[in-house]
Structure 1
Amino acid sequence: MKTKKVLIIGGPGTGKSSVLHELEKRQFTCFHEIAREVILQAQREGIEQLFLKDPLLFSKKLLEGRIQQFKEANESEENIVFIDRGIPDVIAYLDYKKDDYPAYFLEDSQNYKYDEVFIFPLWEEIYKSDNERYEDFEEAKTIQKFLLKTYTNLGYKPIEVPKNTIENRTDFILKKLSL
């Protein structure tokens, strides 16, 4: 049995985590964003913003973690799993920062394929910065454009999740997946 891997993407502060929590409440298996773990570990090591200080090192750690999540999802006994952010997000953010990266970053994005991609639109009313989310809303808009471009260039057709309540956004995703 092949586990269907459904990716949830979108700029910072678009409500992805809230919907993942709702999916978990409904007994679906979810893999959460790992960037916060990487950021918090760097902060424990005295680096306030690893992405700003060493974007390539930060991105390598994210890439490794997201590949690991992908492999764990593949090994799951579930019919479907939901994943908060995917491997291509890494190159989208590096392109946004205009940073160079090794060719294997793109190769990994091409080799590890997700079955469906849902993109959450920017929503200023729910957007909040915090200790790990340093981007302001204008930066989030630009990141959103890079995410959409990256996934589209890789052959994905992201489905936009409408702005609505957490429950209705979750229902929308499940209906699109015929669940």
Structure 2
Amino acid sequence: MNTKKIVITGGPGTGKSTVINNLISNGHNCMEEISRQITLDAQKKGIDQLFLTEPLLFSELLLKGRQKQFIDADIYKNQTVFFDRGIPDVLAYMDYIGDTYPQTFVDACKNTKYHQVFILKPWREIYTSDNERYESFEQALKIHDHLISAYKRFGYNLIDVPFGTVNHRTEFILNALEQ
């Protein structure tokens, strides 16, 4: 039996990281979102929004980081690991901005398969923007559509996580895991 790899995805500000943090605090194995760290590292070098100024470079760094997370998750033999976003998210964001990417991005999605994917819909009541999250709520809705398309492109059946408290959302995910 292998490590069960579960993605929690959704547009910006949907509560993904809050659910991941709740899973961590309850002892679950999780791979946290890495895009904020890439953005912060670029800001230290004087680049305010690397994704906006050099989207391909940003996405290449993100892809490499997520591929490493996918491999690193194998240390949890026969256990479940939750990911705050998956590799297809990289393509979804590139498609959202209308930019092209190399075939290696597509190949990465084909060569790394997650067991299940949960998606959180944009939720106006909890949405906030900050230094690393610059998208408007309307843009978050469009990104959500691109995420659905990207995951479906690679054969995933997405499971919609309902609105609710973080505990309710976490319990929904845990209860919906394939046995």
- Report if TM-score (shorter chain) is over 0.5: yes
Partners of 1:42 and 1:76 in 2: how far apart? 31
Aligned to 1:44: 44
Query: What amino acid is the match of 2:128?
Result: K
Indicate yes or no: 2:55 matched with 1:55: yes
Partners of 1:177 and 1:157 in 2: how far apart? 13
TM-score, normalised by the number of residues in structure 2: 0.97
Partners of 2:99 and 2:42 in 1: how far apart? 20
Between the aligned residues of both structures, percent identity stands at: 51
Query: What amino acid is the match of 2:165?
Result: T
TM-score, normalised by the number of residues in structure 1: 0.97
Does the 8 A contact of 1:3 with 1:73 survive in 2? Answer: yes
Partners of 2:27 and 2:7 in 1: how far apart? 17
Aligned to 2:139: 139
Aligned to 2:174: 174
Does the 8 A contact of 1:62 with 1:90 survive in 2? Answer: yes
Q: CA deviation at 1:176?
A: 0.6
Structure 1 residues 80-127: Cα deviation after superposition (integer angstroms, max 9, x where no partner): 010000111001100111101101100101110100000001100000
Indicate yes or no: 2:8 matched with 1:11: no
RMSD: 1.1
Q: CA deviation at 1:164?
A: 0.4
Does the 8 A contact of 1:13 with 1:126 survive in 2? Answer: yes
- Higher mean alpha-carbon deviation, 70-79 vs 52-61, is at 70-79
Q: CA deviation at 1:76?
A: 2.1
Aligned to 1:64: 64
Aligned to 1:118: 118
Q: CA deviation at 1:78?
A: 5.4
Aligned length: 179
Structure 1 residues 9-50: Cα deviation after superposition (integer angstroms, max 9, x where no partner): 000000011111111111101111000010000000000000
Name the SS of the counterpart of 1:125 in structure 2.
coil
Task: Mark the runs of 5 or more structure 1 residues left unpaired by the alignment.
Answer: none
Does the 8 A contact of 1:8 with 1:83 survive in 2? Answer: yes
Partners of 2:125 and 2:78 in 1: how far apart? 35
Name the SS of the counterpart of 1:30 in structure 2.
strand
Name the SS of the counterpart of 2:125 in structure 1.
helix
Query: What amino acid is the match of 1:159?
Result: I
Q: CA deviation at 1:177?
A: 1.3
Does the 8 A contact of 1:30 with 1:81 survive in 2? Answer: yes
